[in-house]
Amino acid sequence: MRLITLSFCFWLLTACSLQPQGQSEGSEPQLGRLDFTSALDGSERQFFVYLPRGYETQAGKDWPVLMFLHGNGERGNGRDELDYVLAHGPLYEAWIQKRDLPFIMIVPQLPMFGMDEHADYLRNRDPSQIPQRLADGVPPRPAYFPTPDPMNGVPAPASMDDIPPTLPNGWDRIEDDLTMMLDRIEANYRVDQQRVYLSGLSYGGFGTWYMASQHPERFAAISPVVGWGHPDLMAPIAEHQLPLWAFAAGRDPVVTIEHFYPGLNELEKLGHPAVRFTNHEDMGHDAWTRVYRSEDLYRWLLGHSRADEPSGE
């Protein structure tokens, strides 16, 4: 693996007047870009780092870390296209919706890898679709996807042997970059190293399963959202009893629910005591909006530490 260098860019868009009334006291949240050289191809890229309210003023506090892996539609060159990753997930909630989520967030961008040649929603996207942080208040939330499809009652496949454990051109291709980001943030920020979490949606949900299988010792808990995990990835997760909360959507025509069960059944077979699974039966693929909008996931994550014994929750 090549040596990866990282330099710090200026911190962006922070001002006291941007916060709505009634929030907790402390230094303002900050959103910054960090430069790095990709281990994959030597390209110069950036990723977002979010510092929560109070990070600068609570000098004695170590903060939980949440790495978020976006979906297929937010890929880009890691430079002028990086803002597409603001569209969904915990960074959207914290930065665009101005919620006080008490995590240092690491938010990378998956390279395009030619996927725009096959997907109109990538090829035809426009910067006007990127949500903006407002000087006063917050923007309206987008409507949920329409759900004309009935709830999916298809049984789990008898075997996953003919299905590869990772998606084409997925997060596994930049695994070394992701571990570098975790290493760098843990070395240079006030991080509670016992509370490092991982979550992702859709393509990022698949990436969450993959990264957890390769590095189960790094995370206190994970949450893959509308992305199933292949049974072949489950043994290290079960061995480390890594707490996880997986989410599916009952009317999702993209990542259909029947493929969640083989991996979850494998975890049960292996005796994993700390698995949660929630199916939002009324939702389409964008069930991630409800998941990350709720307080439940964040509270659940913060309830887990690598210093604790597995609780089975």
How large a percentage of the chain has pLDDT more than 90?
A: 85
154 within domain boundaries: no
1 within domain boundaries: no
The CATH number of whichever domain residue 17 belongs to comes to 3.40.50.1820
205 within domain boundaries: yes
Is the pLDDT at 211 greater than 70? The verdict is yes
pLDDT computed for residue 12 by the predictor: 40
Look at the chain and report how many structural domains it folds into.
Answer: 1
pLDDT computed for residue 24 by the predictor: 56
274 within domain boundaries: yes
159 within domain boundaries: no
What average pLDDT score do residues 233-257 get? 97
Structural domain boundaries enclosing 282: 6-144+167-302
Residue 291 neighbours by CB distance under 10 Å: 23
184 within domain boundaries: yes
78 within domain boundaries: yes
Residue scoring higher pLDDT (10 or 38): 38
291/265 Cα distance (integer angstroms): 23
313 within domain boundaries: no
Tally the C-alpha atoms within 13 A of residue 115's C-alpha that lie toward its C-beta.
Answer: 19
